[in-house]
Amino acid sequence: MNSDGTTRGGKLEKFSYDDQIVRWFIIATLIWGAVAMLLGITIAFQLADWHVNMNLQWITFGRLRPLHTNAAIFAFCGNAIFAGVYYSHQRLLKARLFNDLLSRIHFWGWQLIIVSAALTLPFGLTAGKEYAELEWPIDIAITVIWVIFAVNFFGTIIRRRERHIYVAIWFYIATIITVAVLHIVNSMEVPVSIFKSYSMYAGVQDALVQWWYGHNAVAFFLTTPFLGLMYYFVPKAANRPVYSYRLSIIHFWSLVFIYIWAGPHHLLYTTLPEWAQTLGMVFSISLWAPSWGGMINGLLTMRGVWDKVRTDPVLKFMALALTFYGMATFEGPLLSIKSVNAIAHFTDWIPGHVHAGTIGWNYLLIAGILYYMVPKLWNAKIYSVRLANIQFWTATIGLVLYVVSMWVAGITQSLMWRAIDSTGKLVYPNFIETVVKIVPMYWVRAIGGTLVFISFLIMFYNLYKTAKSGSIEAEPVLEAYALNSSSEEPNAAAHRKLEGWPMIFAVLSLIAILVGSGIELIPAMLSQKYIVKMSVVKPYTPLELMGRDLYVREGCYLCHSQTVRPMTHEVLRYGKASEAAEFVYDHPFQWGSKRTGPDLARVGGKYPNKWHFRHMWDPREVTAGSIMPRYMWLFDQKIDYDILKKKMSVMQTLGVPYTNAEVEGSVDAAKKQAEGIRDNLMESGVSKEVVNKEIVALIAYLQRIGVDYGKSEVSQ
Amino acid sequence: MKEDNKLHVEENEKHLLMDHNYDGIQELNHPLPFWWSFTFYGAIVFSTCYFVYYMFLGGPSLRQEFQKDYAVIIAYQQEYKKKEGIFDPELYAKFSTPENTKKGEEVFTNNCMTCHQEKGRGDIGPNLTDEYWLWAKGTPATIYPVVFNGVPDNGMPVWSEVLSKEEIYEAVAYVQTLHHTHQPNGKAPQGVKVDDN
């Protein structure tokens, strides 16, 4: 029996592969990869030295960081996924992509989305949720293009000439379905204007949905599609059979089923109910073996050809990528253990961990795949194996510098945060001491990142020269038999049968991811008792709401958290531990995930207005050694009162208890509050007239954060 | 380019080769490595036990653990505040030597200057170089408790939670040297005039 169809019945059909679309996606991968990494090293140097922000609002850290993450994940990795999927999908199914026009709409649509990200994020147009910052019109465009991708993908499956779908395609299916679910659920937002919307969810709910999404963006955008690519390109490059079919089955299903539960490990020690936190932790631990299943199946496929790994750039990059994948997926479960997370969360250990994955696994695997595809698609030999080797070592050294410096920085800072002496006081009460200490590590990281960027440019050049030396030939015409009943395997095991029913396979994958999603999300969505309301917690005033939007616009949440964990050192440093009821009016939540600066959950009332005034003008005026950028434009730009009423009424729609009178009178109320702050500033010696400037709205918000409960008599 | 390499299959795994073939990719069917299965099932067993213990069998919640930990530290703090919150003239004498006053200037620069400005001319916080006082009366004995306990409602931090008592005495000694100096560009007087010194 031969399952490749050549000896089977059915009609012999002629077809060809659409490789042109793959070439386009490869070029896009290279361009956006360079852009994403350039942005990455820019923000890395901004952390090492605040001057690199250049006092320009459009390139200040808080605006560029979302652009870096979006570019790296969706532009660089996204285009690489599409290139690799379209290349392998056709070959694994012996069928041309479903529709050439859809492929082209997919390509140009995706590039347009990326360009629109670059044209909105630097201007502060952001939804304020990590890795989902893009505003609602772009969210809709992403949905449309993703559906087009899905139609093209499943259409190809329908027209396949190969009865059974290979493990790579299992992973592609899980990717396409899950990303659609994640994106749509997390992007539920109510528009205020064409460039502004508020998340439908608030506070704890929003946090849960966001990190269910955020973690699974890692899972189903940076892991499952790449595992699928690995399953195609590693055995092809190594000329080896895949190590274990059985392992493929068990690690695929366990990975897909378990991954979706793991999101709450980003919210340990927060006000998320503890059962959900614990689920997040235990499912993360259970994820260790399923992840390693992929690593083993990749690395052991190279068994017997290790000599080629030494010489062949393709295999070399793939072997290292799989090794880093194994490292990152061991570190992940480790970090999700509550007591380890208590130390690592909010520190630089986390960006270190993430980059072990994105650089170590995604970039290096992409490098291997590109070195495989480009010579084939342009009919050429790799221009220089030597350059590929130089790239390999430059990237490796850069990555090691990155990861190690972030381990050191993260653990050092965390130990300083939590140190308490025998008189019961913090050993390092001034947060800035813990920042200054790790700045040298920020330099090491920036240098490591620069090496990674240089390595990428080397590959760019090497592949350009490779393509240039070759030529694109006419698509070869291939022949294969159409599917008919002769390729059915009636006595096959259940899973083998399932591989012959791709649509049922897709439905089962959907069910697998909906189980965990449903159990974690539905109670949060339905139960009103989920959050016990506190009568002291009131909605923001109109001016504070405007200030909050500025907080979101400037990306403050990327360096400042807004949640005090129930830990002694945090309560000593910041004040009362946060409660779920405090966040019920927060659309979107702004808990953040990193403390480059201190937590702000209790900053309201901590300093006088003038402190904030001077601090936003130049942080170093009040905190020597601060690495925070200056925000001078807040002192020039006027508060946009025109949109205020609309904002208030959208908030009303979302369930914030503003009365109609409050909405109607919001502009007057805001102006009155602004005058109060202006008067207070003038009393303390500020001579500049700032009553209608953004700084006043921001101060109003900062002075309100965490006050209602924090300053109330209600005890913990 | 042509695929010119033949599939590499080791002698001892030929019997594991399956008849699957996708674009030339074949599959072996090695059994699951023992250590992998052990990790897989072990993690699930651990997870189940962990969840059941903490959710159903009365394992302490994160909040309960925090409360326990916090109570211990608060007891330490209270003991310290009770003991050291009262001005001790002997200690002050010990920490107001010219050398200590110099150290006090450093403490002032790093902590107090943000609000009281250079040489205490006042900015966010009041002017320390005139005869007007809001909370203290200008003497070390009256300044010390204000620094030690702070005036949280007015933005003056509880410095005993930040500085050691030695540092507070030194800073108070430095502030004494500023008194009556009437720094240029000083903040307008606040509080009550104290004439006694």
What amino acid occupies position A405? S
DSSP β-bridge partners for residue A197: A191
What amino acid occupies position B59? G
* Measured CA distances, A82 to A86, A111, A166, A310, A607 (Å): 6, 12, 17, 29, 51
Q: Give yes or no: residues A76 and A122 share one domain.
A: yes
| pLDDT for B1 beyond 90 | no
| pLDDT for A124 beyond 90 | yes
| Closest alpha carbon to A172 in A97, A116, A114 | A97
Residue B62: which of A274, A303, A607 has the nearest Cβ?
Answer: A274
Q: Give yes or no: residues A627 and A505 share one domain.
A: no
Alpha carbon distance A429, A409 (integer Å): 18
- A149 is a domain residue: yes
When the candidates are 3.40.640.10, 1.20.210.10, 1.10.760.10, 2.40.10.330, the CATH number that belongs to B86-193 is 1.10.760.10
Q: Give yes or no: residues A364 and A449 share one domain.
A: yes
Q: Which residues of A454-491 are buried (b: 16+ CB within 10 A; e: fewer)?
A: bbbbbbbebbeebbeebeeeeeeebebbbbeeebeeee
- Token pair, residue A405, equals 């410096």
pLDDT at A595 (0 to 100):
97
Tokens 């204007």, located at residue: A193
Tokens 């698609």, located at residue: A377
What amino acid occupies position B120? G
Contact by Cβ (8 Å): A4, B23: no
- A357 is a domain residue: yes
Q: Do the chains contact at A275 and B55, CB–CB below 8 Å? A: yes
Residue B36: which of A236, A293, A304 has the nearest Cβ?
Answer: A293
Query: What percent of chain B has a predicted confidence (pLDDT) above 70?
Result: 96
Residue A241: which of B28, B66, B110 has the nearest Cβ?
Answer: B28
All structural domains of chain B with their residue ranges: 11-55, 86-193
DSSP β-bridge partners for residue A478: A15
Alpha carbon distance B114, A672 (integer Å): 29
Contact by Cβ (8 Å): A437, A443: no
Average pLDDT of chain A, as a whole number: 95
Q: Give yes or no: residues A550 and A581 share one domain.
A: yes
User: If pLDDT is split at 50, 70 and 90, which confidence band does A1 have?
Assistant: very low
- A527 is a domain residue: no
| pLDDT for A4 beyond 70 | no
- A536 is a domain residue: no
pLDDT at A473 (0 to 100):
86
Distance from CA of B43 to the nearest CA of A (A): 5
Contact by Cβ (8 Å): A19, A87: yes
Task: Please count the residue pairs, one from chain A and one from chain B, whose beta carbons lie less than 8 angstroms apart.
Answer: 179
- Which range, of A92-101, A325-334, B184-193, averages the lowest pLDDT? B184-193
pLDDT at A9 (0 to 100):
59
Distance from CA of B127 to the nearest CA of A (A): 12
DSSP state of B158: -
Contact by Cβ (8 Å): A209, A185: yes
pLDDT at A525 (0 to 100):
78
In chain A, the number of structural domains is: 2
Query: What percent of chain A has a predicted confidence (pLDDT) above 70?
Result: 98
Contact by Cβ (8 Å): A548, A644: no
Contact by Cβ (8 Å): A181, A565: no
Q: Give yes or no: residues A326 and A429 share one domain.
A: yes
Q: Do the chains contact at A278 and B55, CB–CB below 8 Å? A: yes
| Closest alpha carbon to A595 in A616, A610, A574, A623 | A574
Q: Which domain holds residue A267?
A: 12-487+496-520
Q: Do the chains contact at A244 and B1, CB–CB below 8 Å? A: no
pLDDT tens, residue by residue, A140-172: 999 999 999 999 999 999 999 999 999 999 999
What amino acid occupies position A586? D
Q: Give yes or no: residues A182 and A291 share one domain.
A: yes
| Closest alpha carbon to B25 in A626, A613, A235 | A235
| pLDDT for A716 beyond 60 | no
Closest-CA residue in chain A for B190? A684
Candidates B27, B53, B107: best to mutate against A (most CBs of A within 10 A) is B27
Q: Do the chains contact at A278 and B50, CB–CB below 8 Å? A: yes
Residue A3: which of B9, B17, B21 has the nearest Cβ?
Answer: B21
Give A296's contacts in chain B (Cβ within 8 Å). 33, 36
Alpha carbon distance A116, B190 (integer Å): 55
Question: Beta A189-193 vs B132-133: how paired, if at all?
Answer: unpaired
Residue B71, number of CB atoms within 10 A of its CB: 10
Q: Do the chains contact at B114 and A250, CB–CB below 8 Å? A: no
Q: Is A124 helix (H, G, I), strand (E, B) or coil?
A: coil
pLDDT tens, residue by residue, A399-423: 999 999 999 999 999 999 999 998 8
pLDDT at B5 (0 to 100):
62
Inter-axis angle of helices A100-120 and A61-70, nearest 10: 170
| Closest alpha carbon to A421 in A545, A633, A569 | A569
pLDDT tens, residue by residue, A193-224: 999 999 999 999 999 999 999 999 889 999 99
| pLDDT for A529 beyond 80 | no
Distance from CA of B142 to the nearest CA of A (A): 23
Region A599-605: mean pLDDT is 96
Q: Give yes or no: residues A305 and A439 share one domain.
A: yes
Closest-CA residue in chain A for B11? A304
Residue B39: which of A241, A288, A622 has the nearest Cβ?
Answer: A288
| pLDDT for B4 beyond 80 | no
| pLDDT for A5 beyond 50 | no
User: If pLDDT is split at 50, 70 and 90, which confidence band does A527 have?
Assistant: low
pLDDT at A711 (0 to 100):
85
Alpha carbon distance A20, A22 (integer Å): 5
Question: Is residue A625 within 8 angstroms of chain B, CB to CB?
Answer: no
Give B50's contacts in chain A (Cβ within 8 Å). 278, 281-282
Contact by Cβ (8 Å): A261, A520: yes
Give B80's contacts in chain A (Cβ within 8 Å). 423-425
User: If pLDDT is split at 50, 70 and 90, which confidence band does A528 have?
Assistant: low
Region A653-668: mean pLDDT is 96
pLDDT at B123 (0 to 100):
86
Question: Is residue A239 within 8 angstroms of chain B, CB to CB?
Answer: yes
Q: Do the chains contact at B36 and A232, CB–CB below 8 Å? A: no
| Closest alpha carbon to A523 in A280, A286, A278, A272 | A272
**Cα A519-A520-A523 angle, rounded to 5 deg:** 80
Q: Do the chains contact at B29 and A246, CB–CB below 8 Å? A: yes
Alpha carbon distance A274, A248 (integer Å): 34
Residue B16, number of CB atoms within 10 A of its CB: 18
- A330 is a domain residue: yes
Alpha carbon distance A303, A319 (integer Å): 11
Tokens 């009550």, located at residue: B192
pLDDT tens, residue by residue, A616-655: 999 999 999 999 999 999 999 999 999 999 999 999 999 9
pLDDT at A2 (0 to 100):
44
- Token pair, residue B182, equals 């009437």
Q: Give yes or no: residues A425 and A570 share one domain.
A: no
Alpha carbon distance A439, A707 (integer Å): 32
Alpha carbon distance A282, A309 (integer Å): 36
- A595 is a domain residue: yes
Residue B27: which of A245, A290, A606 has the nearest Cβ?
Answer: A245
Region B1-16: mean pLDDT is 75
- Token pair, residue A610, equals 């003038």
| pLDDT for A257 beyond 70 | yes
- Which range, of A147-156, B19-28, B115-124, B141-150, averages the lowest pLDDT? B115-124
Question: Is residue A269 within 8 angstroms of chain B, CB to CB?
Answer: yes
Instruction: State the CATH number of the domain containing residue A693.
Output: 1.10.760.10
Question: Is residue A583 within 8 angstroms of chain B, CB to CB?
Answer: no
Q: Do the chains contact at A571 and B1, CB–CB below 8 Å? A: no
pLDDT at B162 (0 to 100):
84
DSSP state of B151: B
Distance from CA of B33 to the nearest CA of A (A): 9
Candidates A169, A257, A286, A427: best to mutate against B (most CBs of B within 10 A) is A286
Contact by Cβ (8 Å): A131, A69: yes
Q: Give yes or no: residues A61 and A142 share one domain.
A: yes
Helix (H), strand (E) at residue B193: strand B192-193
